[in-house]
Structures are given as C-alpha cells and as structure tokens.
Amino acid sequence: MSSHVTEARLAHIHGIPRRKPIDDLPLTFPETVAYAAREFSEKGISVLDRSGRNPDRRSFAEVLDSVKQAAGKWRALGVQNGDRILLCIPTSWEFVDSWLGAICIGAKPAAIAPAMGGLSSSSNFAERLEKFRSVIDASRLLVGDRMASDLRAQFPDTLGAISLTPGELFSEESGDQSFRQVEPEEMAFMQFTSGSTGMPRAVVITHQMATLNAYAINEGIGDRFGAPVSEWSELHSAWLPMHHDMGLIGCLLFCIANGIELSLMNPTTFLARPIRYLETFHKKRAVMSGPNFGYQFCVDRLKQSDVEGLDLSRLATANTGSEMVRPETFKAFSKLLEPTGFTPDKVMSCYGMAEATLAVSFDGFQKGVRTHSVPQKSEVLVENQDVVSCGFVVPDTEVKIVTQEGTTLNENELGEVLVKGPAVFSEYYKNEEATNEVLKDGWLYTGDLGFISNGELYIAGRSKEILVIRGDNIMPHELEWLAEEARGQGESGERTAAFSVSHEEVGEEIVLVVETNVTDTEKLGELDHSIRSRIGRAMSLPVHDLVFVRRGRIPRTSSGKIQRTKIKSDYISGAIERLDV
C-alpha cells in the first residue's frame, strides 16, 4: 500500500492505480445504458415493494427498453434537449425510467426529496419546491398524485401548471424513443447542494464526470479486495434516497455502469423496517452502503433476536460515508450482527461530496474502522479528537491539505481538504460567484478539515457551517429564518444562530441560540414552543436545545455577521448565559 504515497512528506496524495482499463468503456449515459443491456444482460435491477419484499426485477436489457419508452414519453410531452426537470418522487421504477429517460434525450433532471415520512404540510413543501425549481428554472415538475392535486388547487398558474405525475407521464402516447447523441463534456444532470447563502446550488454533472466516477468507485471499493467490485460482487443493495448523491451515483449509476446486480429499497421502508434491508444481504457476497446514521439506526432499532437466522458471513463490505464516521456506531453495529458472521473488519469508510460527483476516497485496508488522533490544536474547532481514516484516493484524482492562505501543508498537519480530478465539477448552474468561491485552479476547496498520514486521508470536521443531520445537509440559515419568522417582529438587531453538536450515540443534533429582550418566563415558554413548532412543521426536525440569550450575546464579526463557530464553542464549553424558560 505504500506505493500509493507518491510524495512522502507533503500533504498531497494521488489516486490509486487502476486495475481495469477504461479505454473502451462508454462515457455518456445513452451509451452506458445501451452498453449495460448488451454486456451485462443477465444482471439487472430489482425494486422492492413497500414492505421491503417482492422484488420487481428487470434485466439491464429490459431497463434499456423502459428507459427508451420514458424517453419517448418525455418527448411526447414536448420536453426537449436542454430543458430542466425537477424530480420529486420516491425510489421506484418510475424514478429510474424518468430520470434516465430525460438524460438520454438531453433534458437535465435534478432530484429532491419527496414529501415522504416528513410529516410536512403541503404549503411549506410548496415553498421548498419553488426554491429548488427556481435555482434551475425547471419547466417540469414530477411529483406524487396527492402533491400534484394540491399544487394544482393552490398554485394553478405556477407550480400547479407545470406539475406532472408519473401516472400521467407514463400514460402519454410514446414519441420518438431514440437516444440523443451527446458529448461526454455535456451536462447530464444536476445535483443540489447547500449554499452558504441559504439558497441551494445545483452542481452541474457532465456525462463524463458521472461515468468516470462510477468506474472510480468500482476501483476504490475493490482496492482492498485486489479486484474491482464488478468482478466479484453478487449484489449491491441500497436504501439511500435517489436525491442523495450516494444513492444516485454510488448505487444506481455505479451498478448500471459497471454491470452489478442492484436491489433498491425505498428509504421509508428501511426506516420503518431496517431488518428488511439487512435481509437482502443474506448469504450474498455483496456491498452494503450508507451514512453513519443508517448503521446507528439499525443499532437503535434492532435486537439480536431480530437478526437470528441471518447469514452475513459472505458480505464483502459495509461502506460508510457522507457524514462523519463514528467508531462507536460500528462497534455497536458489529456487536449486534456478530451472530450473523458479520465482522468489524468489513467496515469501510469513504469520503466524497456532490461537487466531486460523489466518491473521492475509500479505506483500502481490511481492518475496519481505524482512527488517528487529530495532529494539533488549531484555531478551528475540532469536536472529535480521534478521527477515522477515509483511506486512499480514487484513480486519477488528487487530494492535498492547505492552510487558510492556500499553502500546501505537510503530512500530519491539519488544514482544509482540496480535491482535483476528472469528476470534480466545473460549475454550479448559473452561479458563477458561488463556483468561484470553491473552485480555484481546478482545485475544489471542500470546506472540510483534515490531514494526511501515511498517505491516507483523515477527515476531522467541517470548516463550513453546514449541519449534517442524519446524512442530510442543512444550512444554518434555513433554521435561523424559520426561528425568526416564528418569533415574529422582534426588536431590531436580535439575531439567531443555528449549529449542531454531536452526541456520542445519536450523532449530530440541532442547537438554536436565540437573542431576545423577553424576560418573562411564561412568554419565553410560548416563544420556545412556537419556534420548535415552526421548525418541526417546516422541516420535520426536532430542536435538541433551544437557548435564549440577551440581545447582543451572539458574537458578530466587525461587519455584523454572526459567528456560529464561536457561539458553538461557547455553548460546548458552557460559557453561554442562558435565560431561564
């Protein structure tokens, strides 16, 4: 493994060597879907029903047919090359067909979370839909039946007018089903990510970025087994939502491009009955994947009696990324699954982000979760003192660690993680300013803090202020604005700060600090309730701790911006003077 380290001292590492040549592999979606149908005709995709059973399976040859039909249906509706489409439906064949069908005629889809299990009311949801729609100026909206009728009733001229249900799409007379000839450098689709201003950003993913990253994942996960995943995997089973890069790229596209059998489970099914997900791996040489949250969720919900009879001894690996990896979670997960033959060494942590299409690095050792202490104290708050190795960088990709001034650090020094490679993005859709903030000379400034030790990448935390709750990115502004709305017209200059703190077992939870002149305990109690209620209804998120402080107690910069990292460290050290509720 030491051959992966190209520069021993500088914190700058290069990708692992490729085991499988990609010269003859397709670099566009239309070619990839056709290639899978031709080369991997015996493999395919299964979509499980709501109970997590009864797979509805199609071979890749059948997938090609259904994607062609979807392409024809989109065309029949007048959708053309370049049109943006917002997809807001759960994991289903309708999702797979409509997403791929749109891409294959040159339309540009982007997916967001459907209103599932969210307990969120439709008016709040419409606001959210419009926010995402406007970022990509989508001319079509694919939503569920109930949502479509609500939108048509409430917003007949705007969101309602462009709404379409899967039933309506697929009952269209089919138009021209042929795939468009596209160039690898063209945009294929977009994926949303949180922006620092509270508005989402749409990462433009080209055909080439997506396919190359799918091939890179095949190598990255395969590295520790001495062969790409496609050469040994019997199954890839996913519960991750399709609006999430780890679900869309890391599961769906990864399996189509590399010819791997895939099983798709709706996230609500996983959350309702996590055992059904584990059951899909019974006696299979397979890859499990998900954020830390998913594994912790299994630990919280399942008992050893639930996993009785389950055989996970052949499971190749349990892959985890997209939020901080917690060693305690995997200790508990391994203990829970011990009777099934699951061993802790199967765990593989990885690192990636939407701006790099998805995957950047994978832990290449079969040693399970390995930690390293954070090298040195820095100005930036690092909550975790021992952090997990995210391993080696995928082929053709580079990672380096730099200071705030941009100077490359040495190994074992903490700084910002930068990524460069063929899957790193080149623009947020129509947002040059945001692009220039994070992309300089081809290097993606991830905003994550990390270090390199022995040629391996360790992620220590975020320098950005994003909250990651159960693998979902949430911008502090969203919560702060809701809190300010709920408070109503407060005294001018009263501010609110949102951040998350990590709790050993449960992961990250939301803390809100609210400035107020109100001192009356009863009134504060009412305020407390209305803020929690507003956030609960709009985002389905409980606030772990709501702290009222006197006006002016949230630290601000000289230009008046609130300092969330400062107030967070005050909160953790107990230095906040909270008002009694």
Q: Which residues in this chain contact other proteins in the complex, by CB under 8 A? A: 90, 115-122, 144-147, 268, 271-273, 297, 301, 470, 529, 532-533, 535-537, 540-543
CB-based contact 447:464 (threshold 8 Å) = yes
Rounded Cα–Cα distance for residues 360 and 299 (Å):
27
- Measured between alpha carbons, how far is residue 63 from residues 74, 217, 230 in Å? 16, 22, 18
Shortest distance in whole angstroms from residue 211 CB to other proteins = 33
Output the six-digit token pair for 556: 């601000």
Residue 236 pairs with which residues in a beta bridge?
Answer: 262, 287
Residue number, 241 or 368, with CB nearest to other proteins: 241
Shortest distance in whole angstroms from residue 265 CB to other proteins = 13
Shortest distance in whole angstroms from residue 104 CB to other proteins = 29
Residue number, 403 or 540, with CB nearest to other proteins: 540
Shortest distance in whole angstroms from residue 63 CB to other proteins = 25
- Measured between alpha carbons, how far is residue 423 from residues 177, 207, 567 in Å? 29, 10, 36
Residue number, 122 or 410, with CB nearest to other proteins: 122
Shortest distance in whole angstroms from residue 260 CB to other proteins = 28
Residue number, 297 or 451, with CB nearest to other proteins: 297
Residue number, 167 or 406, with CB nearest to other proteins: 167
Comparing CA positions, the residue from 211, 224, 284, 158 lying closest to residue 30 is 211
Q: What is the DSSP string of 182-207?
A: --TTSEEEEEEEE-TTSSEEEEEEEH
Shortest distance in whole angstroms from residue 294 CB to other proteins = 10
Residue number, 249 or 535, with CB nearest to other proteins: 535
Q: What is the DSSP string of 58-96?
A: EEHHHHHHHHHHHHHHHHHTT--TT-EEEEE--SSHHHH
Q: E strands along 386-435, which residues?
A: 386-388, 392-393, 398-402, 415-420
Output the six-digit token pair for 340: 């099934």
Residue 141 pairs with which residues in a beta bridge?
Answer: 86, 163
Output the six-digit token pair for 32: 């990839």
Amino acid type, 115: A
Amino acid type, 167: G
Residue number, 197 or 533, with CB nearest to other proteins: 533
Output the six-digit token pair for 186: 């063209």
Shortest distance in whole angstroms from residue 263 CB to other proteins = 20
Residue number, 6 or 121, with CB nearest to other proteins: 121
Shortest distance in whole angstroms from residue 543 CB to other proteins = 8
Output the six-digit token pair for 274: 């996590």
Q: Which residues contact 326 (CB under 8 A, 6 or more apart)?
A: 292, 296, 388, 507
Comparing CA positions, the residue from 503, 560, 33, 411 lying closest to residue 255 is 33
Q: Count the neighbouring beta carbons within 10 Å of the beta carbon of residue 521.
A: 10
Shortest distance in whole angstroms from residue 273 CB to other proteins = 6
Residue number, 79 or 278, with CB nearest to other proteins: 278
Helix, strand, or coil here: 429? coil
